[in-house]
Amino acid sequence: MPSINNRLNLVGLLMTLISVALIAQLLSFQFRLDPAVAQQLQLRAGSNDSREIEIKPNRGQIIDRDGDILAVNRMEYRIAISPSLVGQDRRETAKDLARALDASELDIYQALLPDENGIYPGYVVLKSPVTAEVSQAVADLSIPGIMIEPIPQRDYPQGSYMTQVLGFVNYNSSGYFGVEEYYQRELAGQSLITTESNSLLDISDDSEVRDGQTLQLTIDRDVQWIAQQVLDQAVAEYGALGGTILIMNPHTGEILAMVSNPSIDLEAYLQDPASRGNAAFTPAVAYTYEPGSTFKVLTAAAALDIQQPGLDLNWSYTNYGCEQMAGVQICDWDRVAKGGTTFTTCLVKSLNTCTSHWLVGTDSVPGVGSTRWYDYLQRFGFGRPTNVDIAGEELGIVNWPGTSGWNEANFVQTSFGQGIAVTPIQLMTAINSIANDGLMMQPHIVKRRIDGDRVFEHTPTPISRPISAATAQQVLRLMAEVVDNNGEGSKAQIENYQVAGKTGTSQKIGPDGRYSDTESWASFVGFIPANDPQISVLVLLDRPTAPGSYYGSQSAAPTFAKLAQRLVVLLDIPPDAVRNDLINAGGRPFDRE
């Protein structure tokens, strides 16, 4: 029995010692890990780190009507790392990365270390952005845990003279202003939100990343460049604050060029957007101004279109230079009495008293009247957007009957483009109907959208027919006479081509709220050729100050002539004599794009 008891005691002692050893080992795991074991566990913990990322598609390109690139993508790169995956020699890793990135070795080394709790971060950005050459140098190091992430950037090869049309893309790939903003969804494509575990992406089979569409604009890069040159020269020559030129196809609503001065230095603007103050980014669609006498062609169109007995091309009145109407004095630009004056002379000499009588009538012939006049303004699209496909369009201002801004005086003044505010695109869209047999077309700047193998063509779309074809042809002939030798627009003439057009001079409103006698908007709108318009042009100069440049006839009309002389060559518009010979021989000179 004693021997058995001794054996039992020995077994019990061994069991106790084994239990103590096991408990001690368990305690050692909880309070102190072996360095090798700790490193392996940390690596495994790091391998489970994940973050949500967005896989972005390529943004669509923008090209002009001939395929020249206006906006394109280039790639920069972000260099990041998962420190938990880096091997043992972190100092050597930091040295190699610092050399490749031209960065601080100490900063990189510290980024690779664990925090105070011994935990390594799952993701650390080392440098952004870097070039493709730098990213390749980093890739060649083959460092575990390194991540090279593409960052798409937007390039505009044509420089600042396209900025106001295109707008720009911010750091988050969102378009601002112009075409980039209006077509943000189409250009951006379809991205994918997913998770990343180190370098592994969890993407389901039914996920799809779609690149953005390519936009082909109606803009002609060469026409745009010429227009900018001519505008910049005019601003300098006439001492103007700035200006805008808009060139369109009146039959389709296509915008061939849209330029403004001052143009926008995009790099400077992005650094300090407030530097432009309240200036519109795209003035051709966003700036409102009183159109002045260019508006008279629409007043003439309304007067002729209503077919009021006696209110036709044979209409006449006695001109006194100035008259009291609706409680205010209405004066012609020269304030000189002219006696008996015809309908045609009214437009050719740009007489305010005359267009006022077209609305209110004379003792013998009733005028258009307010009800019908404001109906025509609605038909022509004033006081509402044209819905041109460029971001930032403004509505313009019309004091409609029944609103607080309306009165009889305002009604009369609108006949010569005062007391009403328009945007350049609004005015051109309306006046283009005169060159298109009375049919007003939807203005647009995108000709087609290209989505892979699919092409979406823009079909020219009529908005309305504000006037009849017969009325449009009558007014077009009147506009041709305006530019003939005795007209106010004679400085818009170009050799071998008849031009149809109209000058405009609108007084700017000063700080005191009154119309200025020294500051103006000088403008001209014209068609080439006069009897078969292929292009329409609006020239608008903001406050020309050089001697003899106040009126549109003195500054905007000759600017138009300089531009038109170059456009007829660039766009291959034959001189009138050649074109008429082609037509007489059975040819169709404009049956081309």
List the single range of 134-143, 425-434, 464-473 with lowest mean pLDDT.
134-143
Strands (E), 198-346: 200-202, 214-217, 242-248, 255-261, 316-319, 322-325, 328-331, 339-342
Does residue 552 sit in helix, strand or coil? coil
pLDDT at 35: 44
pLDDT at 593: 47
Residues 183 and 308 both lie in one domain: no
Residues 115 and 251 both lie in one domain: no
Residues 250 and 176 both lie in one domain: no
Residues 160 and 232 both lie in one domain: no
pLDDT at 582 > cutoff 90: no
Residues 85 and 226 both lie in one domain: no
pTM of the model: 0.84
115 pLDDT tier (thresholds 50, 70, 90): confident
pLDDT in tens, 199-222: 434 444 445 778 899 999 999 999
Q: Which helix (H) or strand (E) holds 517?
A: strand 515-528
Average pLDDT, integer, range 541-563: 97
Average pLDDT, integer, range 97-122: 90
pLDDT at 486: 83
Residue 261, both tokens: 């001065």
513 pLDDT tier (thresholds 50, 70, 90): confident
Residues 132 and 229 both lie in one domain: no
Average pLDDT, integer, range 31-37: 43
Establish if 22 belongs to a structural domain. Answer: no
23 pLDDT tier (thresholds 50, 70, 90): very low
**Structural domain total, the chain:** 2
Establish if 77 belongs to a structural domain. Answer: yes
CATH classification at residue 159:
3.90.1310.10
Q: Which of 155, 185, 217 is the last residue of a domain?
A: 217
The answer to whether 70 and 158 are in contact (CB under 8 A) is yes
Residues 150 and 226 both lie in one domain: no
pLDDT in tens, 314-364: 999 999 999 999 999 999 999 999 999 999 999 999 999 999 999 999 999
Residues 288 and 187 both lie in one domain: no
pLDDT at 29 > cutoff 50: no
Mean pLDDT estimate for the chain: 88
Q: Which of 164, 188, 217 is the last residue of a domain?
A: 217
pLDDT at 171: 75
Average pLDDT, integer, range 480-504: 95
Q: Longest C-alpha distance within the chain, in Å?
A: 153
**Per-position b or e across 132-155, b if 16+ CB within 10 A of its CB:** eebbebbeeeebebbbbeeeeebe
Establish if 590 belongs to a structural domain. Answer: no
How far, in Å, are 162, 232, 408, 563 from residue 547 at the CA level?
31, 18, 36, 22
- Domain, as residue range, for 116: 53-196+208-217
pLDDT at 272: 86
Establish if 231 belongs to a structural domain. Answer: yes
Q: Which residue is it, tokens 């029944």?
A: 402
Establish if 574 belongs to a structural domain. Answer: yes
Average pLDDT, integer, range 168-179: 89
Give the whole-angstrom CA distance, residue 143 versus residue 165: 45
pLDDT in tens, 265-287: 898 888 888 878 778 999 999 99
24 pLDDT tier (thresholds 50, 70, 90): very low
First to last CA, the chain: 120
pLDDT at 17: 53
Average pLDDT, integer, range 98-106: 92
87 pLDDT tier (thresholds 50, 70, 90): confident
CATH classification at residue 272:
3.40.710.10
Residue 537, both tokens: 């042009």
List the single range of 16-20, 98-102, 234-238, 385-389 with lowest mean pLDDT.
16-20
Average pLDDT, integer, range 129-146: 90
pLDDT at 246: 98
Residues 346 and 484 both lie in one domain: yes
Residue 97, both tokens: 């990365």
Residues 233 and 151 both lie in one domain: no
Q: Which residue is it, tokens 């003939």?
A: 484
Establish if 145 belongs to a structural domain. Answer: yes
For the chain, give the percent of residues with pLDDT over 90: 71
Q: Which of 217, 246, 272 is the last residue of a domain?
A: 217
Residues 376 and 316 both lie in one domain: yes
pLDDT at 30 > cutoff 50: no
pLDDT at 8 > cutoff 70: no
Average pLDDT, integer, range 148-168: 90
Residues 296 and 409 both lie in one domain: yes
Establish if 11 belongs to a structural domain. Answer: no
Q: How far is CA 294 from the centre of its chain?
A: 25
Establish if 35 belongs to a structural domain. Answer: no
pLDDT in tens, 44-75: 444 445 555 666 788 999 999 999 999 999 88
pLDDT in tens, 391-403: 999 999 999 999 9
38 pLDDT tier (thresholds 50, 70, 90): very low
